[in-house]
Structure 1
C-alpha cells in the first residue's frame, strides 16, 4: 500500500514539474500607455458598460493599447491574437489586425519588466524599444 502511495506522489510531482510554461503566463490584460503619468489622458471609461476606451487626443500623450484575452486594440486598430508563446520574461504574440481597409499580421516581442511594465522589442533593430505601463483605470 505504501509503495502505491509513493508512486502516486512521485507521478503527481513529475506532472506538476512537467507543466508547460504557459501555465504561468503573464497577465497582459488591461490598458497600457507609454507613460504612467499620462494614463488618464490616454484612456477613459465610456458608455453604459463603462468600458476602457481611448480619449480623443490619446496620441498626443504617447498613446498605448488595450489588451483583452483574445485581442489587442489600438486607437485605430483591432487585432485578434492568433498565437502567443510565453518564454520566461519574453512574450511572443502574433496578431491579425484590421485598420480601415487593410488586414495584416503583426508579430510583437514583449519583455516583462514587472507586473505593470513591459517593453516592446524590435528584433533586428538594435536599441529600439518602447516601454509601456499598465494603467489603473
Structure 2
C-alpha cells in the first residue's frame, strides 16, 4: 500500500471511531448489589477456583446478580443471555432463565447511570425501579 493511501486509511479509521455517535456497549460484567456497602455480605469467592458466588444470606442484605459475558446469575436462577441491545445509556436484555422448577424468558431494561451504577426499570409500572452498584471484590 502506498504511504499516502495508508495514511488516508489510518485517518479515516480514526475519524469513524472518534465520532461522538459511535457508542461502545456498556460493560455489565461483574457483581452487582443493591447496596454498594453490602457487597461483601452479598458476594464471596469460594472453592479452589475462587469462583465468585453468593453468600448464604445474600438476600438479607439486598441481593444482587452476577453478570458474565453470556449469562446473568442470581442466587436461585441461572440465565443465558439470548439477545442484548445497547441504545445509548439504555440496555435491553432478553434472557432464558432456568430455576429448579421451570424455564422462562425474562426481559431486563437497564439504564446506565455511570460506570458503576445501573437502574433496572420496569416499563408499565410507573416509578418502579431498582438501583444496582458494581461490587469491586
TM range (shorter): 0.7 to 0.9
Q: 2:98, 2:117 → 1: CA distance?
A: 26
Aligned to 1:52: 52
Alignment of 1:1-137 (within 5 A): 8=9, 12=13, 15-16=16-17, 17=19, 21=23, 24-137=24-137
Structure 1: unaligned runs, 5 residues or longer = none
Q: 1:122, 1:28 → 2: CA distance?
A: 18
User: What's the CA shift string for 1:61-113, capped at 9, x where partnerless?
Assistant: 00000000000000000000000000000000000000012000000000001
> Cα distance 1:64–1:5, how it changes in 2: closer, same or farther (>3 A)?
closer
Q: 2:85, 2:50 → 1: CA distance?
A: 31
Moved more, 4-13 or 60-69: 4-13
Moved more, 65-74 or 8-17: 8-17
Q: 1:43, 1:53 → 2: CA distance?
A: 6
> Cα distance 1:61–1:15, how it changes in 2: closer, same or farther (>3 A)?
same
Moved more, 7-16 or 59-68: 7-16
Number of aligned residues: 135
Structure 2: unaligned runs, 5 residues or longer = none
Q: Where in structure 1 do 4 or more consecutive aligned residues deviate above 6 Å?
A: none
Shift of 1:132: 0.3
Q: Secondary structure at the match of 2:82?
A: strand
What TM-score comes out, normalization by structure 2 length? 0.88
> Cα distance 1:10–1:47, how it changes in 2: closer, same or farther (>3 A)?
closer
Q: CA RMSD in A?
A: 2.3
Moved more, 112-121 or 8-17: 8-17
Q: 1:56, 1:6 → 2: CA distance?
A: 58
